[in-house]
Chain A
């Protein structure tokens, strides 16, 4: 019964939030880019994971929008954003976003992301450290830790149950089946295939950037590393590896949480990041 209520509760909040974000399409160096935004205050750019969660104004966005001007773009190739042919690797993603910041007139921003998005945020911060006021990275790949292999998303992608086990602390919880639906509609399946295709282009050959670790020392701003303590796809050792290379970075584990803290530990996720960026 509790599960049902929780599901209904979250579902209802998602529903109520539908009108919450303002969605627009902006042309960034020839790539049409969908951006969802809301709230007022200092600019806060959220870079999404391979789930493509920025296609909807989820409750965690509303949480951030209480304090910040949230800007959540959809990556090239995901959902209705174009430009897949123009991104060959993670560096192209970083360049895409610095051009977006320029186009939107964003001088200095709070920047962060989950998983793929966190990695892109790191790639931006090492190249243009002066543009980032605060950096947060959650459950992100990008570096390599010997002896701690990453989970294989591509092996399990057709098996929903195993996928939930890989991504969630509680694979049987309501949230796991809300995010990984048993019967997704055709549009969702198409978006998921597109998303996995972009991800494959970024990580297939090598699921990290061999140059990133030796560039991380360039990051000049306060940095928060936030990880689900049960992340099986990108284990917390990856957060520790980031910490090793980023001066003064703070590593924080979220208890009983998997790879997707914005869903599985929404309030802790929002509070930790909001407090860090406001401090």
Chain B
């Protein structure tokens, strides 16, 4: 269940004041992309779809859509997912 926007904004405000990384507060998703071959998503909720050209992950901010070629889930842990392959685009779905 998504958190209310008001709570999310409050958490961000506290984080900014205390200089705490945003991804450490609550369910803020953090996406790191290195070149076009490696993508790391932290604070995800689960795998929604997994194919060779499309991987969709559920997050607190909606579904993150990663498109590309030869995609695979290199690492799948409760707090972090790593995607290997040729990443072409990363987008949030409404």
Q: Do A and B come from one complex?
A: no
B residues engaging A (CB < 8 A)? none
A residues engaging B (CB < 8 A)? none
